[in-house]
Structure 1
Amino acid sequence: MIDLNNIEEVIKEEKKILRNKSKNYKENFFEIKNFIEKEILHIETLKKNGINIIPEINFKDLSPSLIEFKKEVKNRGCVVIRDVFDDNLIHQMNKDLESYIDENNYYEDQKKKSDIDKYFSDLKSGKPQIFGLYWSKTQVNIRQSNELNHVKKWLNKLWVNKHNNQTIFDPNNELVYADRVRRREPGDTTLGLSPHCDAGSVERWIDKGYQSVYENIFADNFIEYNPFNASYRNETQEIESAAVSHVFRTFQGWVALTEQGPGDGTLQLIPIAKSMAFILTRALMDDVDDNDLCGSKPARALSVNSTYHSLLLRGLVSIPKMNPGDTVWWHPDVVHAVEDQHLGKGYSNVVYVGSTPYCDKNLAYAKKQSKKFLEGKSPPDFAAEDYEVNYKNRAEISDLTPLGKKQLTL
């Protein structure tokens, strides 16, 4: 367990250990920096020439083959999978979600509890008005759909899931990770999220599980580092705090409920799967205080900032235009953001989903989460706002399919 009362001393000691893993930690960083610079220049060239950067595929074309395409996804750390859901179905789901919000007076509830969720408080754009709803029928039906289950299996199989002949996770069995909703109105300037990563901030340097995940990065073996190797990723220990992910996700993602694209206040990514290596080794450089990790703070998102990460930020790109029923997915180490302004004409709405395959770490979380589902409370990883306890038309166990029950361990 990480001692938050002594966190600066812990950081100082762990940085010494991490530096000593390398024969020359400065040379190690510059080798990684050179790799990142080449990737950034390539992204900038593609962007300048109007060439798509984020890999795309249609749902019906997903298959176990696609060797070159899968290689591109692993390099970019992200993928757009289109037409996962029928347009008419998603249109109705969006309307149903809107009705759920309105009939339960969510906006009034949110005003009363606006100071509970502090997770994004250190990101420059301020607190986003992402809806703290988890158990609407729209969300539950998307999660338990056969379509999403098929997508997640395909994504899971991009990973190396065995280590020393031991299975780390089962790519064919998914557990649900309930997450929130984004509904962004045209003209909004308050909901932006500056570039960040989830699932741990300071933990990525000082947790022993994470140190094992990133061993090749720290120990002068960057060329062998594979961000899609799941070894030790289900052994990490995140700081106990609301809104810090305590599961192993092969991918984060969302389903588009409305049309949205660049300029519509939507998602941005730095599409470099190995970018975490730059973030980690940058913090070991001598211009960063010994008790600091480039401004990272415990129990918060891992902020990526212009002071230390200006090179990386040059690679930030908005995702392509998304249609209702399209999905986008990104590796848990990929830096992501939400545009500061919504300059479009229609609502920019998404349901957040993530791929959490069956493993002991995820199973332990899923069992805690299932109790929250039955009570209509916020899941364990999120601030205990508990809006939905008495909400009308909240999804209940009778709304679950056999797959939905299995994924919720019910």
Structure 2
Amino acid sequence: MADKTVPSAAQISASQFNACLARYRPCVQAISASKRAAANKDGNQKTLVELDDYRYGHAVDTFGSDASTTPMTLDEVKLLVEWKLRHGTFRPTLMKLVSSNAPATVEDTVSKAVKAYREHKDVSSAVNILTQLKGIGPATASLLLAVNFPDSVIFFADEAFYWLCGKGAKCPIKYNVKEYLALNEQAQILANRLGVRAVDVERVAYVLMRDGQATGEAPGTSKDGAEAKEDTVQKVPPKRKLSDDKPDVKAPTRRSKRNRPALPYVTMAITARGSRRPTKKKMQPLFPDPIELPLRFATLKERLVSGREETITASWDRLLCEMEKQVEHISSLGSQVIPEIDFDCIDSTEHAETFHSELKRYGVGIIRGVVPLETAAEWEDGVCDYLCENASVRTTTSAPPSSELHEVYWSPAQVKARAHPNVLAAQRFAMSVWTVSRDPEALVNTHRPVTYADRLRVWDYETPGSEAEMPLSARIDGGSVERWEPDGSAPVYKEILRGDWESYDPIDSSVRARVTSDLYHAAESCSIFRAFQGLLAFNGTPAGFVKVCPMVGLATAYILLRPLFTGSGVEEEWKLSQPQDSVLHGALPGYAQDVRPSLHPHLRLDRTLVDVPELGPGDYVIWHPDLIHSVGRKACPERHGSRDTQGRNQPSRQATVRPPSNPSITMYLPACPLTQTNALYLARQRRSFLLGHPGPDFFVAHMRSSAGAGAGSVPSIGESDFHNRPGVQDVSEAGGEDGLRAMGLFPLDEERERETRTAQLANGILFPDL
């Protein structure tokens, strides 16, 4: 078999160039024939050959002469985009975005760009004009210019970039203007040296990088079969392997989602004390029966009830009565209880007040369209490229395996999302419902979100398993036994524990911001104050990807009081336990609070654990830190009928569920206010970001896992050696000064902050030398 070689762009001869150009048509015909089987069966879809004839034939003849004054219409742009998607990387959302442009706007914008290049020969300015259109990035903009100026402008194709800028090898591409200018410059150098056109350079690059796939020939072989001279060729580097027993994975490109290799999975599960567990299935304890804790917890419970037996019993009776009403309310409405608002409406007083009222009542809400569709699609592609390129990413799998939790914290998409102005605005809007009624002097600034770097979750629709195979269960984040311990978060729930749950305010942050919710330093336990946990969707997620029990105040009171009482079922009489035992149902030191029907029957999870509606790209779902929830399990069919938002905020942008062939990608994105505790964490996390290490809450688990990676291995820490890991400049470009401040990378302007004392405190922690 001939050795696959690629002639160097700097040394390729005219004869070699012409021989490759002559092979372009057969190469496209072979690729078109191979793709024809995947085309739609009704025959309406154009073949690659037909689209290619339009792109290099009719389109160039119509627009590619200096004398041409024919305006390019939206339909013609769409035809070129269709060629681009078939000729290279398929992106299912691109055509929809391009089609959403107004026809008159397309004609006017393309005409302005063509005029700008014709008059000044400034390809950068022309590209910037074209990228004002929806769905038109630098690559598509270059295509429109290349059709109009085939002699001097090259299309930003992957193959051209690999050959001219990557020395004949596949390499990461960011698809920005800077890269395109470098590509166009190299194309002009080659075109001037050989006296050829830019459009021919583009086609030769396609042959050199693709022809081996279509014909089996070595791309460096001339038409008569003679091998190119050794000193004029560059060897294509071998494909990198993940391991000796795994298939090759190509270096990342903007690949078709339909043809992406499976994302690399490596399971990691570590306990707080360092012992390894065989799988993630035991990370969250599945307790069919109550578990006895150390005797000190029995003593703690006795102290809680001593002298208040009648008060607490009466409180329990009132709670069960009110919960019964709420169970009926939630069960009758199902997912409709979850409020929604369009991001564009958050500044509307009427819409905001309605949303905030229901967010406080139910503890969960959806902000639709926080991130534009095209931005979400770009981030989705970036995540897949980052994961495939950096194959050492660790993952944990839910049980049964319906979603993967990727232990990635600093991918470009995550960093950009956390700094994005819309995300920060949505977080400020959501956190504005929190109060400091207990202590008005508390140092809590909900107008200044701070970043908490968490992980990615990928939902695989095709993973085996069903809802029937999983026991009904959920969890509450933020520790478990700490809720009853005076040194933990018990002060937050003082009213509940003294028998006055009606006075408990779930959205008062004055005490919550000061307590310790992680007394046992559990691996991956959150040590900061999150006003809301959240998920941002990069693409569509199905209904039920997140399930919630939307009665945050009552459910919290029930979780706390339930261990003090004894009973066998919902219909039975429950009595205060005498004496108290050490059981805290579903709670173990170092774990999240487990919630299940056998331990918490009055919650009626079969009726109150409702599906969060489907999310579209750029949608943001948030929930209270004490809310009972479940993430990443198989969604069951809608139990409560169709969604009817009559009388509620109705988002104008409908969520779009992704087709089953594509995994759903979301990132954990909590909303965290500026407090002393959070500023201290941010200082430590800032160092993690700069080094590429996992955040402080995740570092110990990562190092324990790395220690067990194998004898003689010296793994890098986190993402420190990952390719394309972003830095400070990327944060600045994504979010400006506010994005930098959220990451602790830029000091607060104390004179302009609403909470001056909090700003001074944070600056003293983060920038002590100022």
CA deviation digits over 1:118-137, x for unaligned, max 9?
xx9xx975896300000001
Shift of 1:269: 0.6
- What secondary structure does 2:720 align onto? helix
Instruction: Note if 1:164 corresponds to 2:445.
Output: no
Matches within 5 A, 1:358-397: 358-382=674-698, 383-384=701-702, 386-397=717-728
> Which of these residues, 357, 363, 367, is aligned with residue 673 of structure 2?
357
Which residue is equivalent to 1:117?
none
Partner of 1:249: 530
| Cα deviation, residue 22, structure 1 | 3.6
Equivalent of residue 663 in structure 2, options 312, 333, 347: 347
- For 1:253 and 1:403, how far apart are their aligned partners in 2? 20
* 1:228 maps onto 2:493 in alignment: no
Q: Which AA in structure 2 matches 1:391?
A: F
**Number of positions where the alignment pairs a residue of Structure 1 with one of Structure 2:** 390
Residue-by-residue CA offset, 1:153-173 (whole Å, 9 max, x unaligned)? 111110113543313311111
1:166 is paired with a residue whose SS is: coil
CA distance in 1, matches of 2:307, 2:739: 45
User: What amino acid sits opposite 2:697 in the alignment?
Assistant: D
Residue number in structure 2 paired with 1:201: 480
Per the alignment, in what secondary structure is the counterpart of residue 294 of structure 2?
helix
The CA deviation at 1:52 is: 1.3
| Residues 379/207 of structure 1: CA separation in 2 closer, same or farther (3 Å cut) | farther
1:33–1:163 CA distance, 2 compared to 1 (3 A): same
One-letter amino acid of the structure 2 residue matched with residue 296 of structure 1: A
DSSP-derived class of the 1:336 partner: strand
Work out the CA distance in 2 between the residues paired with 1:16 and 1:189: 47
- List per-residue Cα deviations over 1:225-245 (Å, max 9, x = no partner): 110111310122112122111
Q: For the structure 1 residues 55 and 9, does the alpha-carbon distance in structure 2 shift closer, same or farther, using more than 3 Å as the test?
A: same
Of 254-263 and 363-372, more deviation after overlay is shown by 254-263
Matches within 5 A, 1:178-197: 178-189=453-464, 194-197=473-476
Q: Provide the C-alpha distance between the structure 2 equivalents of 1:187 and 1:284, rounded to a whole number of angstroms.
A: 43
Aligned sequence identity (%): 27
TM-superposed CA distance for 1:103, in Å, is: 0.5
1:309 aligns to 2:600 (yes or no):
yes
TM-score calculated relative to the size of structure 1: 0.88
Equivalent residue for 1:131, pick from 406, 413, 422? 406
Letter in 2 for 1:384: H
- Alpha-carbon distance in 2 for matches of 1:349, 1:20: 50
Task: Encode CA deviations 1:264-319: one digit per residue, 9 max, x unaligned.
Answer: xx111111121111111111114587111003111111110121213321310111
1:52 aligned to 2:336?
Answer: yes
Contact 1:23 1:220 in 2 (8 A): no
> Quick one: which amino acid aligns to residue 725 of structure 2?
R
Q: Cα–Cα, structure 1 residues 249 and 64, in superposed 2: closer, same or farther, change >3 Å?
A: farther
Matches of 2:465 and 2:528 in 1, distance apart? Answer: 29
The answer to whether the Cα contact below 8 Å between 2:440 and 2:510 also exists between their aligned partners in 1 is no
Equivalences for residues 5-404 of structure 1 within 5 A: 8-20=294-306, 22-24=308-310, 25-47=312-334, 52-63=336-347, 65=349, 66-106=352-392, 109-110=393-394, 125=400, 129-161=404-436, 163-189=438-464, 194-237=473-516, 238-239=518-519, 240-262=521-543, 266-274=545-553, 275-286=555-566, 290-312=581-603, 313=605, 314-341=607-634, 345=660, 346-382=662-698, 383-384=701-702, 386-401=717-732, 402-404=737-739
Q: Unaligned stretches of 5+ in structure 2?
A: 1-272, 274-291, 568-576, 637-658, 704-716, 746-770
Distance 1:255 1:102 in 2: 21
User: What secondary structure, in the 3-state scheme, does the structure 2 residue paired with 1:400 have?
Assistant: helix
CA distance in 2, matches of 1:14, 1:140: 43
1:87–1:205 Cα change, 3 Å? same
1:212 CA drift (Å): 1.5
Deviation at 1:342, TM superposition (A): 6.0
Deviation sequence 1:67-103 (CA, Å, 0-9, x none):
3332111100011000111111101100000000000
Q: TM-score, normalised by structure 2?
A: 0.48
SS in 1 for 2:405: coil
CA distance in 2, matches of 1:389, 1:100: 13
Aligned equivalents of 1:214, 1:125: Cα separation in 2: 34
Q: Which runs of 5+ in 1 are unaligned?
A: 115-119
Residues 16-71 of structure 1: CA distance to partner in whole angstroms, max 9, x if unpaired? 22223744223322221222221111011113xxx712000000111373333321
Question: In the alignment, what sits opposite 1:408?
Answer: 743
1:314-353 alpha-carbon deviations (Å, 9 max, x no partner): 3101111210001100000001102532687132211110
The CA deviation at 1:405 is 2.3
* Larger radius of gyration between Structure 1 and Structure 2: 2
What secondary structure, in the 3-state scheme, does the structure 1 residue paired with 2:336 have? Answer: coil
Q: Do the aligned partners of 1:77 and 1:330 also contact (CA within 8 Å) in 2?
A: yes
The RMSD of aligned alpha carbons is 2.5
How far apart are 1:179 and its partner, in Å? 0.6
> Is this contact kept in 1: 2:402–2:633, CA < 8 A?
no
291-300 vs 125-134, which moves further: 125-134
Q: Which has the higher contact order (CA 8 A, sep 6+)?
A: 1
User: Deviation digits for residues 140-164 of structure 1, max 9, x if unmatched?
Assistant: 1000011011111111110113543
Counterpart code for 1:315: T
* Higher helix fraction (1 or 2): 2
Report which stretch shifted further, 141-150 or 201-210: 201-210
